[in-house]
C-alpha cells in the first residue's frame, strides 16, 4: 500500500502591536486631507443660510410634515348625505317652493334680529321654579288677607300677579305646531324660519301661510343657531308675540325691513327656479367644445 504523505500544519504568525500614534501627527494629516479636497473641488463648504438638522429617531421625534388627509377620511353617513344633497340641489332644477330657502337674511339684519331674540329667551327650569314658588306664596298671602278682611267686614285688595317677580315674562315661542297656531290666530308679530330643516316638507308651506295671514316672516341660518335661543339643540322656527316697551321701536324697524325683503317680494320669489349649475368638469368640457367649434368657424365669436 502507498504511504500517506504527511501534511505539516503551519501555525499563525503572531501580529505585532501597532506603534502608538501621536495626536499632533493625526491633526496634521487631517488638515492635509482638507487642503487636498478643497483643491480638487470635491470638498463643499457649509452654507451658513441652511442649518443642518439631523433627524432624531427617538419616540415622538423625526415626525413627517402634516398633510391634508381630507380625501382619505371616512366621513359619517349623515355628513356624506348632506354633501350629496347639496350637490343635487346645485345640479337639478329646484322648484321655487324649495329654492326660496336659499335666500337667507343678510348678515347685518340677522345680527340685530338674534340680538333681540336672545333678550327674550325662554326661562330655564330654575328661574321658572322660583317664579312659580313666589307666585304661590303671593296667592297664599292674598287668600289670608281676604279671609281676615272678610272677618273684619272690609273689601280685600287684589295683589296677585302685580309683582314683577311673579309676572310671566315675555319670551319667544318655538315649535312648528305652536307657531302655526299663533300665525293662524294672528298673534305672531314676526316668524323666523331655519333654512336647513330636514325634511324640508316640515316648513315648506309656512312662508305661504305667513303671506296669507299678513305676518312678517324671514329665513335665517341655521336651525342650530335658532335652537340656542330656546335652549334646545335645534329648532325649525320661532315666533315673537310680544316684547317689552323698550324694544318696541327695534322690533318695528326689524319687521319693516323683513317685510320689504320677504313679504313684499313673495310673488317675485315664487317664480325663481334654482339649481341647474354644471360641475367644473362639465363647464370645462363645454368650453373646450365651444373653442373647437369657434376655430372651425361654426360659431362666430362675439366682437
Each residue's pLDDT tens digit, 41-65: 554 556 677 777 777 777 777 777 7
Q: In sequence order, which residues have a C-beta less than 8 Å from that of residue 192 and are 6 or more positions away?
A: 113, 117, 217, 218, 220, 226, 237, 238, 239, 240
For the chain, the helix, strand and coil percentages under 3-state DSSP, each to the nearest 5: 50, 5, 45
Q: Which domains does the chain have, with CATH numbers?
A: 96-122+171-268 (3.30.1330.30), 125-148+161-168 (no CATH)
C-alpha cell at 135: 307666585
User: Contact, 239 vs 190, CB < 8 A?
Assistant: yes
SS3 string, 104-121, reads CCCHHHHHHHHHHHHHCC
Each residue's pLDDT tens digit, 221-271: 989 999 999 999 999 999 999 998 999 999 999 999 999 999 999 999 999
User: Contact, 218 vs 261, CB < 8 A?
Assistant: yes
Residue-level pLDDT at 162: 53
Residue 192 zone, left/alpha/beta (φ > 0; ψ -120 to 50; rest):
beta
Residue-level pLDDT at 291: 92
Q: Which residues pair with 191 in a beta bridge?
A: 217, 239
3-class state of residue 217 by DSSP: strand
User: Contact, 193 vs 235, CB < 8 A?
Assistant: no
Each residue's pLDDT tens digit, 170-223: 899 999 999 999 999 999 999 999 999 988 999 999 999 999 999 999 999 989
> Which helix or strand (DSSP H or E) is residue 93 part of?
strand 93-94
Question: Which of 246, 240, 196, 199 has the alpha carbon at shortest distance from 220?
Answer: 196
Residue-level pLDDT at 303: 47
SS3 string, 237-249, reads EEEECCCCHHHHH
User: Contact, 262 vs 209, CB < 8 A?
Assistant: no
Each residue's pLDDT tens digit, 96-155: 999 999 999 999 999 999 999 999 998 888 888 888 888 888 888 888 888 888 877 666
Cα–chain-centroid distance for residue 204?
A: 23
- pLDDT of 5 above 80: no
- pLDDT of 2 above 60: no
Pairing of strands 190-194, 217-220: parallel
pTM of the full structure:
0.65
Q: Work out the angle between the directed axes of helices 107-119 and 248-258 (0-180°, nearest 10).
A: 140
User: Contact, 143 vs 157, CB < 8 A?
Assistant: no
Amino acid at each position: 500500500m502507498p504511504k500517506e504523505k504527511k501534511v505539516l500544519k503551519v501555525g499563525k504568525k503572531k501580529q505585532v502591536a501597532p506603534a502608538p500614534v501621536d495626536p499632533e501627527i493625526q491633526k496634521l494629516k487631517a488638515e492635509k486631507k482638507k487642503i487636498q479636497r478643497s483643491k480638487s473641488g470635491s470638498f463643499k463648504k457649509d452654507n451658513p443660510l441652511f442649518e443642518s438638522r439631523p433627524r432624531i429617531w427617538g419616540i415622538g421625534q423625526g415626525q413627517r410634515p402634516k398633510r391634508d388627509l381630507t380625501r382619505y377620511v371616512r366621513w359619517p353617513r349623515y355628513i356624506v348625505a348632506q354633501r350629496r344633497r347639496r350637490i343635487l340641489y346645485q345640479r337639478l332644477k329646484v322648484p321655487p317652493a324649495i329654492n326660496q330657502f336659499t335666500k337667507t337674511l343678510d348678515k347685518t339684519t340677522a345680527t340685530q334680529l338674534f340680538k333681540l331674540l336672545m333678550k327674550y329667551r325662554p326661562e330655564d327650569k330654575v328661574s321658572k321654579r322660583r317664579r312659580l314658588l313666589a307666585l304661590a306664596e303671593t296667592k297664599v298671602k292674598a287668600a289670608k288677607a281676604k279671609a281676615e278682611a272678610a272677618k273684619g267686614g272690609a273689601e280685600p285688595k287684589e295683589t296677585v300677579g302685580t309683582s314683577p317677580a311673579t309676572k310671566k315674562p315675555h319670551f319667544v315661542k318655538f315649535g312648528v305646531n305652536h307657531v302655526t297656531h299663533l300665525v293662524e290666530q294672528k298673534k305672531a308679530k314676526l316668524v323666523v324660519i331655519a333654512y336647513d330643516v330636514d325634511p324640508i316638507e316640515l316648513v315648506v308651506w309656512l312662508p305661504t301661510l305667513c303671506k296669507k295671514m299678513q305676518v312678517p316672516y324671514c329665513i335665517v341660518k341655521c336651525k342650530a343657531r335658532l335652537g340656542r335661543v330656546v335652549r334646545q339643540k335645534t329648532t325649525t322656527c320661532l315666533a315673537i308675540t310680544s316684547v317689552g316697551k323698550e324694544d318696541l321701536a327695534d322690533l318695528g324697524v326689524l319687521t319693516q325691513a323683513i317685510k320689504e325683503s320677504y313679504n313684499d317680494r313673495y310673488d317675485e320669489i315664487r317664480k325663481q327656479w334654482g339649481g341647474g349649475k354644471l360641475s367644473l368638469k362639465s363647464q370645462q368640457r363645454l368650453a373646450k367644445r365651444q373653442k373647437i367649434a369657434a376655430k372651425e368657424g361654426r360659431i362666430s365669436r362675439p366682437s
